[in-house]
Amino acid sequence: MTVADDLPPFLVLFFAFCFLSGVCESVLITQWPRYISTRSNDSITCSHDDSNLLLMFWYQQRENTNSMTLIGYGYENSPNYEGEFEKQFKLTRQSATKGALTILKANPSHSAYLYIKFSSVLFDIKMKRCANYEAYFGQGTKLTVLEEGINITEPKVEIIQPSKKECRDKNNKRKKTLLCVASDFYPDHVTLSWETIGGEMLGSVATDSAARRNGMFYKLTSRLRVPAHQWFNPGIEFKCTVNFFNGSGTEAFFAVVKCMLLKT
């Protein structure tokens, strides 16, 4: 059994809503990729399955903020840009249900989360009337504009076992804490999960909300707390896996441990 703190990699969201009549409909939105490490000319693609959603919006959200900034919007053949975003991005539509956002000129200050939104109505510009309409967001793409002089670097993964005192003192400690450390990686395009090999996952997981930067590289930690009897079970191993996007694909790096102490 696996305990993961990430979403499915293909980033497909299923949104459901009901009309007043009680009839439920749905929209399937795909936004890909989840991560981009770039300096320029990469694209984010998106699609949906409702041809009535003619408007496409792109938003930017900086890290550690709750607000979104509109990059641009448009129908199939008429993109509109906000402010200086036209110099940084290009909006394209392959059809009513497919579109893309291309990064034209990028620098590290442009690093952010990018979201697609589809809607059927914008507003009546001449009459200045807003309309009630459904809007659907994609899952989002994390854009990291690579810094000059720093190469994409894979994470080092290790599991720190409970201290010897904690491990041996099983009569007084009902829980054992394992610490997984992913370190020395760049950029911070990682997800982390725990798995037990040879038994059911009985523990609880607490993972850092975001990787922390120290100098040029990042570090992410996660704690797995399991019952003492599971830690001392010689047939169970504990595996920590870190998935890292290296600019062209996702690679898995992992560490595995088990308690090697003899029962007394």
Which SS3 state, helix, strand or coil, does residue 168 take?
A: helix
Say if residue 161's pLDDT is above 90.
yes
Which pLDDT does position 51 carry in this prediction? Answer: 82
Report CA 255 to chain centroid distance, whole Å: 22
Average pLDDT over the chain, rounded to an integer: 80
Rg (CA), the chain: 23
Q: Break the chain down into helix, strand, coil percent, rounded to 5.
A: 5, 55, 40
Please provide the DSSP assignment of 59-93 as one string. EEE-TT----EEEEEEETTEEEE-GGGGGTEEEEE
**C-alpha distances in angstroms, 99 versus 32, 47, 90, 105, 223?**
11, 6, 11, 19, 40
Which SS3 state, helix, strand or coil, does residue 222 take?
A: strand
In CATH terms, are 2-145 and 156-257 the same topology?
Answer: yes
156-257 has which fold?
Immunoglobulin-like (2.60.40)
Mean local confidence (pLDDT), 144-160: 93
Each residue's pLDDT tens digit, 79-134: 999 998 999 999 998 888 899 999 988 788 888 999 988 887 654 433 344 445 56
Which of 256, 227, 228 has its CA nearest to residue 168? 228
Each residue's pLDDT tens digit, 227-252: 988 998 989 999 999 999 998 889 99
Which pLDDT does position 244 carry in this prediction? Answer: 96
Each residue's pLDDT tens digit, 4-35: 333 332 222 322 222 222 333 467 888 888 88
Which SS3 state, helix, strand or coil, does residue 217 take?
A: strand
Which pLDDT does position 55 carry in this prediction? Answer: 87
Which pLDDT does position 21 carry in this prediction? Answer: 26
Which pLDDT does position 243 carry in this prediction? Answer: 97
Name which residue leads in pLDDT, 183 or 172.
Answer: 183
Each residue's pLDDT tens digit, 55-79: 889 999 988 788 999 999 988 778 9
What band does 3 get if pLDDT is binned at 50, 70 and 90? very low
Q: What is the spatial distance between Cα 155 and Cα 162, in angstroms, rounded to a whole number? A: 22
Which pLDDT does position 134 carry in this prediction? Answer: 65
Mean local confidence (pLDDT), 181-187: 97
Domain boundaries, the chain: 2-145, 156-257
Each residue's pLDDT tens digit, 205-228: 999 999 999 999 999 999 999 998
Which pLDDT does position 169 carry in this prediction? Answer: 47
Please give the CATH architecture assigned to the domain spanning 2-145: Sandwich (2.60)
Check if the beta carbon of residue 144 is closer than 8 Å to that of residue 152: no
Q: Residue 53 class from Cβ within 10 Å (0-12 exposed, 13-18 middle, 19+ buried)? A: buried
**Residue 43, H or E segment:** strand 43-48
